[in-house]
Chains A and B, each alone.
Chain A
Amino acid sequence: MNLLFAVMIGVLYGAGFYLILRRSFVKVLIGLILLAHGANLLILTVGRLTKGNPVFVNSGTDATAFADPLPQALILTAIVIGFGIQAFALVLFKRAYKTAKTDDLDEMRNTDLSS
């Protein structure tokens, strides 16, 4: 299963990096989201994968069999914060598009409006 996760993480990172290298702002944004997914999976994998044994302490299994709760707590935070960033970036993009009339990042290199 590590192999499976490695493949997924590799694909997500590769796709995310490719997209943030684009000139279109929307693509960069999608790239960022893919990268966030990749990072979340990476944290989960680094904390070791445990199948079907969530950490509810009354379920009777001994401590070593549980999944590690710490990476999960970190990922939870990451998901929520990631959403905040996405929402803000998306609206910022909309705003910038309205003002600069372009989706092309190369056109937004200076602070002056091209009228």
Chain B
Amino acid sequence: MLFFVLLGFITAVLVPLIKKISDNFLSWIIPIIPASIFFYFASFYYQIADGEVIKVSYSWIPSLGINFDFYIDGLSLVFAMIISLVGTVVYLYAGSYLKGDTRLSKFYIYISIFMSSMIGVVTSDNLMTLFIFWELTSISSYLLIGFNHEKESSRYSALQALLVTGLGGLALLAGFILLYITTGTWDISEINKMPAEVIGSSYFFLIVIFILLGTFTKSAQFPFHFWLPNAMEAPTPVSAYLHSATMVKAGIYLMARLNPAFGNSILWNDLLLVFGTATMLFAAVLSFKQTDLKKLLAYSTLSVLGTLTMLIGIGSDLAIKAFIIYLIAHSLYKGTLFLVAGIIDHETGTRNIEKLSGLRKLMPITMIIAVAASLSKMGIIPLVGFVGKETVYASVLELPIFGNYLIVITILANMFVVYITAMVGFRPFFGKLKSTPKNPHEAPFRMWSGPMFLALSGLVLGIFSSLFLNKLINSSELGIISERLNIPVKLWHGFNLELLLSTITVLLGLFLYFKREYFLKFVASFSSVKFVQPSYYYQFIFDGTLSLAKYITSKIQNGYLRFYILVILLTTFSLIAYTLHTFYSFNEINIGGSVSVYEVILAFILIISTLLAVSAKSRLAAIVGLGGVGYVIALFFLIYSAPDLAMTQFSIETLTVILFVLVIYKLPKYLSFSSTTRRIRDIIVASFAGLTMFFLVLVISGTSLTSELKEYFIAESYPSGKGLNVVNVILVDFRALDTLGEITVLAVAAIGVYSLLKLRKKDN
């Protein structure tokens, strides 16, 4: 199992090696990968159809409960089979579509990573693993949308898709974590067994909002739909695969997967219903003014995604059945139509439908495929799309109160879908031939065989729907709702209301198609208002964030060293002062033993010297003060049992003073730059810091200290280090490596000093 889930990642690593043989060889051999994944999952068909569930688990981080748990039921199987089947077609197709393109191997790497991630999403039973695969799909989608990265619009769209879905991913993570806190498990199958705990939880509202933010952004639901049409910048095989058949359905999948836990809550159902319906209608209306083949298809995909969300929201047995059929049907025909659009683009050099007409004689096979897929999409008998649409209508009609309104909206939306289909599937092929940028002829075998296969599957599944779909659907429902259902799927239900509505939809759609000139004027007047476009808000937030970041950076990272120091000082010492104030009492301060008069005098000299160093008007006076401080400290070392330190300090201090005098004496006047206000401000800050240090030392001296190291060093100094001066033994023996490091630092500094002194500008 793990092997087949991760096969895409393995492939991604192997592609550069196979590419070395030849690009052509690569593009012929590589479709075997998705095909083998397809057959692997297809081999589970009978087991799953019999109602079994397959669970496999591989430990990953067992201590955190995060494992590669795979769970295959009807729902997962349907998705996995769609992903690998459409994958096979796309792999084959791309070999021809990108023939001669030097980036072909890059394409296979990205798309293989994507395919594995997607398979991972639909088979994972662990929320965390699912989340990781989920994010991987976002990243590979980013790479694929930006495939033509030399185009600015490509980069822009890729980033937009990544930001929108990435932000949703973050929300999703938050939702998953809350779900984990509520249920105590990452296992989806376990969570689905405790709907009462989930719905009763105090976090329930947040969980639903966060998870839906994740799924709505991923599946491009209104108001996050805008990234999907822009994602059409990607090469067509990518659009067909990611942005129609698979990735955009990840959100839908997750909602269906979690439905057993959430499905009984009104909040969940209503949100899905409202946003699903809004997306379905809104996207359909927006599609109307599009003239680009792929954009048209993108909007119709949006509409379908809305419908699928709506169906989960309705949540009745019939709705779930409609969901599965519609999902399968859509993946088959929409993938096909995208690939057809790709063929047309490839052969004619344009995707603008205004310029396409009369291709039927030049591209007969493509036309047959397009028409077959279109008919399925329009919901015309005997294709699988017909079964799908019938069931959708039936489940909407079943709704008690809203049913009547909702069916009108659904029919309206579907009317537009029929319109889009007519525009994409028929218009380019009929009528008079127009001249196009390239001279079109029939697509090569590899390009039409895949779509042909998908279109045929739609026909087979439609005619023999009772044979193939029934069993799978009954077990798929197991994944979505808790009890098993037995509603048979049939092609022909007799003359009933749904059939009538289907017919009305098709007629309305065709009416729209033939009268489009008239309606276009009407639509153009209202959809150009930018305030109704969510992408306007995206751009607003995007620009706003950037300029805010720029503003903050210019304020915080302003390039003035002293400003940074000021901030660091204030932060550090405020924290220290707060801690001292809160946790320590000044009653315990230990002032320590008595001091002799000469110590007080020395301290006095130190303070005077320090003040001299600070306030000196000449550089030399400052150096004198500095020297005074150093020598006094050396004397203190001597008094307080540290003769080694005293000796070091004396010699170093002498060297410092000499160095300073040598270097600085030659420089011009000692200047002061700061204004008086600045100076006063700095004095206040520095005094505050100094005062805090003063109290800190007192408080520390008041606490008790036991040092085991002291005893150890004193005891071991002679026996182990053969030295009587313990400080020396520590430096050269116990901590010899530190001393070595110290010497190295000094050596580096010496080299630095030497080279800076010797550095000369070359005279021309």
Q: What residues of chain A have their CB less than 8 Å away from a CB belonging to chain B?
A: 1-15, 17-24, 26-28, 30, 33-34, 37-38, 40-42, 44-58, 63, 66-70, 72-73, 75-77, 79-88, 90-95, 97, 103-106, 109-110
Cα(A34)–Cα(B660), bound, Å:
14
> Which residues of B have CB within 8 Å of A104?
671, 673
Judge whether B261 is part of the interface by a CB distance below 8 angstroms. no
Q: Would you list the 8 A-B pairs with minimal beta carbon distance, nearest first?
A: A14-B690, A10-B694, A2-B592, A67-B641, A84-B749, A18-B686, A6-B697, A55-B726
Number of A-B contacts (CB under 8 A): 272
Other-chain contact of B673, A12, A23, A77 (Cβ < 8 Å): A23
A37 lies within 8 A of B630 (CB): yes
Q: Mark B704-729, 1 if CB is under 8 A from A, else 0.
A: 01010111011101100000111100
Tell me, rounded to whole Å, the shortest Cβ–Cβ distance linking A114 to chain B: 14
B724 lies within 8 A of A1 (CB): no
Known A15-B610, A63-B715; judge A94-B663 contact (CB<8 A): yes
Cα(A8)–Cα(B592), bound, Å:
15
Known A11-B607, A44-B637; judge A58-B724 contact (CB<8 A): yes
Tell me, rounded to whole Å, the shortest Cβ–Cβ distance linking B617 to chain A: 12
Other-chain contact of A87, B611, B630, B739, B753 (Cβ < 8 Å): B753
Known A4-B600, A57-B717, A103-B667; judge A51-B639 contact (CB<8 A): yes
Judge whether B745 is part of the interface by a CB distance below 8 angstroms. yes
Tell me, rounded to whole Å, the shortest Cβ–Cβ distance linking A20 to chain B: 6
B562 lies within 8 A of A66 (CB): no
> Which residues of B have CB within 8 Å of A91?
663, 752-753, 756-757
Cα(A13)–Cα(B709), bound, Å:
28
Other-chain contact of B595, A1, A41, A72 (Cβ < 8 Å): A1
Known A92-B756, A105-B561; judge A8-B606 contact (CB<8 A): yes
Q: What residues of chain B have their CB less than 8 Å away from a CB belonging to chain A?
A: 559-562, 565-566, 569, 590-595, 599-600, 603, 606-607, 610-611, 613-614, 619, 622, 626, 629-630, 633, 636-637, 639-645, 648-649, 652, 655-656, 659-660, 663-664, 667, 670-674, 682-683, 685-687, 689-691, 693-695, 697-698, 700-701, 705, 707, 709-711, 713-715, 717-718, 724-727, 730-731, 735, 738-739, 742, 745-746, 748-750, 752-753, 756-757, 759
Known A30-B626, A73-B727; judge A97-B667 contact (CB<8 A): yes
A44 lies within 8 A of B759 (CB): no
A49 lies within 8 A of B592 (CB): yes
* Interface residues of B, dominant DSSP: helix
B639 lies within 8 A of A4 (CB): no
Known A45-B701, A51-B593, A90-B660; judge A103-B613 contact (CB<8 A): no
Tell me, rounded to whole Å, the shortest Cβ–Cβ distance linking A104 to chain B: 5
> Which residues of A have CB within 8 Å of B748?
84
> Which residues of A have CB within 8 Å of B707?
47, 68, 70
Q: In the complex, what residue of chain A is closest to B759 when comparing beta carbons?
A: A95
Known A79-B648, A105-B561; judge A13-B641 contact (CB<8 A): no
A73 lies within 8 A of B731 (CB): yes
B603 lies within 8 A of A70 (CB): no
B693 lies within 8 A of A18 (CB): no
A24 lies within 8 A of B673 (CB): yes
Tell me, rounded to whole Å, the shortest Cβ–Cβ distance linking A10 to chain B: 3
Other-chain contact of A63, B562, B637, B714, B757 (Cβ < 8 Å): B714
Known A21-B685, A87-B749; judge A81-B691 contact (CB<8 A): no
A80 lies within 8 A of B753 (CB): no
Cα(A106)–Cα(B674), bound, Å:
11
B735 lies within 8 A of A73 (CB): yes
> Which residues of B have CB within 8 Å of A87?
659, 749-750, 753
A54 lies within 8 A of B642 (CB): yes
A90 lies within 8 A of B663 (CB): yes
Tell me, rounded to whole Å, the shortest Cβ–Cβ distance linking A51 to chain B: 6
Q: In the complex, what residue of chain A is closest to B697 when comparing beta carbons?
A: A6
B614 lies within 8 A of A15 (CB): yes
Given A2-B591, A63-B714, 15 extra CB contacts under 8 A: A2-B590, A6-B694, A13-B689, A15-B611, A19-B613, A19-B614, A24-B671, A34-B629, A41-B633, A55-B641, A57-B726, A66-B714, A73-B735, A76-B645, A94-B756
A22 lies within 8 A of B562 (CB): yes
Known A17-B686, A50-B640, A88-B749; judge A76-B648 contact (CB<8 A): yes
Tell me, rounded to whole Å, the shortest Cβ–Cβ distance linking A93 to chain B: 8
17 inter-chain pairs at a CB distance below 8 angstroms, sorted by A residue, are A1-B595, A2-B592, A2-B697, A7-B603, A11-B607, A14-B687, A17-B689, A21-B569, A28-B561, A30-B626, A44-B645, A52-B639, A66-B714, A67-B641, A76-B644, A83-B652, A105-B561
